[in-house]
């Protein structure tokens, strides 16, 4: 019999240095990030060993329960205490957008690496402060990353590889729709995600931020200007009766105003002159998580739908017209991004492993002293696009440049 050294050591081998994680927030994103931290060391060969040191949240009972449920060694009720812990080297910010800037900047100034959920902040000013803090921290060898996790869907990462390899050629069109339907019911309650002071914006920041990041990431180009319409179809909703995770909750008889958009439509131009179109909404009945994107170029086209996240459609326009067609690539081959570590071909991965892959790249980046994209500067640029969208929507949809 060969006794092992125990659970902690076994996670990624005794030789790797530990990387203590402290996570703030324990709702939906807290759960997915916990899952990723628990899993990443068992799937990938990592240069550092993630240790789930502490989780932070304001409600002592709730955070203690979350620590037990998700596998964190300790629980903190004050995020500042969590940031200050000696066993925390990486602060993972999973709170609503209104506290991102304060926590992330403090963590960076305390010498910690930071992973921050998207959108980076609720305003351009906050995002600028965060990007500046990240730049100062980078000079000290710290790493900061914004959690646009969909870049790490293997099919999306593979799409980027195909574009970078020239398989799509000069891009003419990028179109992204991100459709959900959880606000169709006018009696869905007024959670924090429907209040500007917490969420910054509505579908725009929640869904549109992903859409913008992916369009720019895939194209390898930036948006230079946008024209936008936004709408709040249901102007008041039942006030929350008790706590809520943002995506659910029970409403009371009293109604209060919705202060964010239900939907945002915008068009734009990319650096190269390509046209882009975007739609983000939570009012598209029957569409649960339909982040659909398509890129059309002179040499080929790509299409993706998050509801079928293991598949990528690729059309090779250099083939003969007779034999050409969109092919459905099952992105589950060992040669596809992240897949060598997983199951045999044809065995699907789930949504949550976008976070596992994000954690992998972040740990590698920290070990190598090189921040993986998307950086806080990337997050700031997305924030500028969102601000231009809101400005255009306020100004009768007039084409509004995105400051660079």
Give the interface segment with a second copy, choosing from 88-96, 111-119, 284-292, 361-369 (CB under 8 A).
284-292
- Residues within window 168-227 making contact with a second copy, judged by CB under 8 A: 172-173, 175, 177, 179-182, 184, 186, 227
Give the interface segment with a second copy, choosing from 98-106, 199-207, 208-216, 295-303 (CB under 8 A).
295-303
- Of positions 86, 140, 346, 404, contacts a second copy by CB under 8 A: 346
The reply to whether 336 sits near a second copy by the rule CB under 8 A is: yes
Taking a C-beta distance cutoff of 8 angstroms, is the pair 49, 20 a contact?
A: no
Contacts by 232-236 with C-beta closer than 8 Å and gap 24+?
232/202, 232/258, 232/260, 232/261, 232/262, 233/262, 233/263, 233/283, 234/183, 234/186, 234/258, 234/262, 236/190
The reply to whether 59 sits near a second copy by the rule CB under 8 A is: no
Shortest distance (Å) from residue 317 CB to a second copy = 4
Shortest distance (Å) from residue 353 CB to a second copy = 7
The reply to whether 398 sits near a second copy by the rule CB under 8 A is: yes
Quick one: DSSP state of residue 190?
B
The reply to whether 18 sits near a second copy by the rule CB under 8 A is: no
Closest CB to a second copy among 134 and 303? 303
Enter the tokens of residue 128: 């600028």
Helix, strand or coil, per DSSP, at residue 102? helix
The reply to whether 30 sits near a second copy by the rule CB under 8 A is: no
Quick one: DSSP state of residue 300?
E
The reply to whether 229 sits near a second copy by the rule CB under 8 A is: yes
Size of residue set near a second copy by CB under 8 A: 123
Closest CB to a second copy among 54 and 114? 54
The reply to whether 28 sits near a second copy by the rule CB under 8 A is: yes
- Residues within window 352-391 making contact with a second copy, judged by CB under 8 A: 352-353
The reply to whether 308 sits near a second copy by the rule CB under 8 A is: yes
The total number of residues written for the chain in this structure: 404
Residue 40: CB partners within 8 Å, gap ≥ 6?
46, 50, 356, 359, 360, 363
In DSSP terms, 177 is beta-bridged to 279, 292
- Residues within window 254-273 making contact with a second copy, judged by CB under 8 A: 262-263, 265-269, 273
Residue 128: CB partners within 8 Å, gap ≥ 6?
380
- Residues within window 95-154 making contact with a second copy, judged by CB under 8 A: none
Give the C-alpha separation, 148 to 376, whole Å. 11
């Amino acid at each position: 019999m060969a006794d092992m050294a125990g659970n902690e050591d076994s996670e990624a081998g005794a030789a790797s240095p530990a990387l203590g994680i402290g996570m703030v927030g324990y709702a939906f994103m807290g759960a997915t990030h916990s899952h990723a931290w628990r899993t990443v060391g068992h799937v990938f060969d990592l240069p550092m060993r993630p240790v789930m040191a502490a989780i932070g949240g304001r409600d002592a009972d709730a955070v203690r329960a979350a620590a037990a449920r998700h596998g964190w060694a300790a629980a903190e009720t004050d995020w500042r205490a969590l940031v200050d812990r000696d066993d925390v080297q990486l602060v993972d910010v999973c709170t609503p957008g209104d506290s991102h800037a304060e926590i992330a900047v403090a963590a960076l100034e305390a010498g910690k690496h930071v992973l921050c959920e998207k959108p980076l902040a609720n305003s351009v000013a906050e995002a600028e402060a965060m990007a500046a803090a990240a730049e100062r921290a980078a000079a000290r060898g710290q790493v900061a990353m914004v959690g646009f996790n969909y870049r790490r869907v293997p099919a999306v990462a593979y799409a980027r590889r195909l574009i970078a390899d020239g398989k799509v050629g000069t891009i003419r069109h990028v179109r992204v729709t991100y459709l959900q339907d959880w606000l169709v019911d006018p009696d869905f309650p007024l959670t924090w995600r429907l209040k500007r002071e917490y969420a910054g914006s509505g579908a725009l920041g929640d869904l549109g931020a992903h859409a913008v990041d992916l369009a720019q990431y895939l194209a390898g180009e930036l948006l230079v200007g946008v024209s936008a319409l936004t709408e709040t179809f249901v102007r008041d909703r039942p006030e929350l009766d008790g706590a809520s995770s943002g995506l659910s909750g029970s409403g009371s008889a009293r109604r209060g105003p919705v202060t964010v958009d239900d939907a945002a439509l915008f068009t734009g131009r990319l650096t190269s002159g390509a046209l882009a179109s975007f739609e983000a909404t939570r009012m598209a009945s029957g569409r649960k998580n339909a982040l659909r994107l398509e890129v059309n170029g002179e040499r080929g086209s790509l299409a993706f739908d998050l509801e079928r996240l293991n598949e990528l459609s690729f059309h090779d326009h250099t083939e003969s017209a007779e034999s050409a067609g969109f092919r459905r690539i099952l992105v589950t081959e060992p040669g596809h991004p992240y897949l060598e570590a997983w199951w045999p071909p044809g065995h699907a991965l789930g949504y949550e492993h976008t976070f596992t892959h994000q954690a992998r790249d972040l740990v590698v980046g920290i070990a190598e002293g090189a921040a993986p994209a998307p950086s806080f500067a990337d997050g700031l640029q997305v924030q500028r696009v969102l601000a231009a969208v809101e400005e255009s929507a306020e100004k009768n949809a007039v084409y509004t440049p995105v400051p660079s």
